């Protein structure tokens, strides 16, 4: 089944304790992205990746890191989480965003609800 998976789905942690949220897609998509969703603010892009070893900042990258060593995986890393990073996080992927093929539906993962105490 074609899908985007995220782990963990729920996480409660404490300030300063490094964590990683994994994201994996099995659709051979080039483009992957991380969003955070907060009430009244919609979906805000954290980081995105056009392809392997190519990543770039979105609108709210502070406090986050990503890597894209393989096409299928795009982990989100919080080196030193803080309470203002408590949010619902979504990973998404699409076939491509380049040129005529750029009009592609984004497929979202199930979400990870993170609470930082």
**Both tokens of residue 92?**
């998404």
Q: Any idea what the Cα angle at residue 74 is, between residues 65 and 90, rounded to 5°?
A: 85
CA distance 3 to 25: 6
DSSP percent split of the chain into helix, strand, coil, nearest 5? 5, 50, 45
CB of 72 to other proteins, least distance (A): 18
**x-or-dash string of contact with other proteins, 56-85, rule CB under 8 A:** x-xx--------------------------
Question: Would you count residue 110 as binding other proteins (CB under 8 A)?
Answer: yes
Question: Would you count residue 34 as binding other proteins (CB under 8 A)?
Answer: no
Q: Which is nearer to other proteins, 35 or 64 (CB)?
A: 35
Question: Would you count residue 13 as binding other proteins (CB under 8 A)?
Answer: no
């Amino acid at each position: 089944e074609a899908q985007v998976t995220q782990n963990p789905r729920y996480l409660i942690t404490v300030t300063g304790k490094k964590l990683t949220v994994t994201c994996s897609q099995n659709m051979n998509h080039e483009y992957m992205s991380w969003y955070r969703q907060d009430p009244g603010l919609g979906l805000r892009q954290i980081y995105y990746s056009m392809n392997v070893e190519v990543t770039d900042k979105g609108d709210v990258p502070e406090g986050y890191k990503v890597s894209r060593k393989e096409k299928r995986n795009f982990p989100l890393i919080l080196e030193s989480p803080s309470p203002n990073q408590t949010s619902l996080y979504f990973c998404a992927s699409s076939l491509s965003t380049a040129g005529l093929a750029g009009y592609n539906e984004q497929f979202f993962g199930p979400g990870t609800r993170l609470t930082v105490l």
